[in-house]
Amino acid sequence: MNVEIQKTDQFNYIETGDSEEVLLLLHGLFGALSNFENIIEHFAPKMNVAVPILPIFDMDLRELSLEALVKHVEEFVALKGYKKIHALGNSLGGHIALLFSFNNPDLLASLTLTGSSGLFENSFGNTFPQRENYEFIKTKTESTFYDPKIATKELVDEVFEMVNNRSKAMAIVVTAKSALKNNVEDHLHKIKVPTLLIWGNDDTITPPFVAEKFDELIDNSSVVYYEKCGHAPMMEHPNKFNKNLEDFLTEINAIKS
């Protein structure tokens, strides 16, 4: 993926173009830009794909919270002047997309959630009882996916480095605890934009019943389940994911035109 990370004093981000139609990608707690590689490559020719890198490891722990991360995204959007946003979030990124949508309904054109927290989550990040055990971290990382081969050595090494860096490990725990406290069930009725839920039937972190509950509580929603798929459908089934997302966005634009 040959996309340059742009940097300012406050933000690190990817932006692929200047289209008025923005696909805003929000990564999870252990997320990396590689998680969205296929989405970026597929949609960059058609939309402005923007990926703000969440400052989970850069914030003062006393200030770090889900609300602070949402504020960071809001300030990024304000700086860029985006007016028509299709927000997509995976895991913690989905949770942030939900809170962003509650605060900024006029900016949102659609919402896509995949493996989102916000209702229920078997969290990886609350404690690290065996953080120095590489095989333990490898097994935990592999459990994110239906196919453990998706958890490459590079990905496992990245997670292992995170949890064995004291400051990063503390940031992960603080963020995970903030997410667990921030249940969105009573606010989902506020979402009025078309919402697509893409879920793995073998997701053990946010199991399929979570998608069912989101679908029940969000008025204008539809859900697609993937067989043989865990917590990151865009990584395990990239072509299918991109097609479902493109069909969803095309239908929205057709209705508006």
Domain boundaries, the chain: 6-122+183-256
Q: For the chain, what is the mean pLDDT?
A: 93
Angle, alpha carbons 226-73-239 (nearest 5°): 25
User: DSSP assignment of 171-229, as one string?
Assistant: HHHHHHHHHHH---GGGGGG--S-EEEEEETT-SSS-HHHHHHHHHHSTTEEEEEESS-
User: What confidence tens digit (pLDDT) does each residue in 68-83 have?
Assistant: 999 999 999 999 999 9
CA distances in angstroms from 81 to 69, 191, 203, listed in the order given: 18, 22, 36
How much of the chain, in percent, has pLDDT values that exceed 70?
95
Give residue for tokens 């003062």: 60
Instruction: Give the CA radius of gyration of the chain.
Output: 17
What is the pairing mode between strands 21-26 and 195-200? unpaired
pLDDT at residue 207 is higher than 70: yes
**What is the three-class DSSP state of 50?**
strand
Bigger pLDDT: 3 vs 202: 202
pLDDT of residue 119: 96
pLDDT of residue 182: 94
Pick from 55, 109, 107: nearest CA to 86: 109
Contact (CB, 8 A) for 94 and 73: no
Q: Which tokens go with 124?
A: 């990886």
The answer for residues whose C-beta is within 8 angstroms of residue 64's C-beta and 6 or more apart is: 56, 171, 174, 175, 178
The answer for residues whose C-beta is within 8 angstroms of residue 213's C-beta and 6 or more apart is: 119, 120, 185
213-235 average pLDDT score: 97
pLDDT of residue 231: 96
Using 50, 70 and 90 to split pLDDT, how confident is the model at 126? low
105-116 average pLDDT score: 97
pLDDT at residue 128 is higher than 80: no
Using 50, 70 and 90 to split pLDDT, how confident is the model at 1? low
206-230 average pLDDT score: 97
Q: Which CATH architecture has domain 6-122+183-256?
A: 3-Layer(aba) Sandwich (3.40)
pLDDT at residue 257 is higher than 70: no
pLDDT at residue 256 is higher than 70: no
Using 50, 70 and 90 to split pLDDT, how confident is the model at 2? low
49-53 average pLDDT score: 97
pLDDT of residue 3: 76
pLDDT of residue 232: 96
Q: Which tokens go with 72?
A: 């960071």
Flag the least confident range among 27-36, 94-103, 113-122, 234-243. 27-36
Q: How far apart are CA 185 and CA 177, in angstroms?
A: 17
Give residue for tokens 């919270």: 65
pLDDT of residue 254: 74
Helix/strand/coil (H, E, C) string of 4-40? CCEECCCCEEEECCCCCEEEEEECCCCCCHHHHHHHH
pLDDT at residue 212 is higher than 60: yes
**What is the three-class DSSP state of 154?**
helix
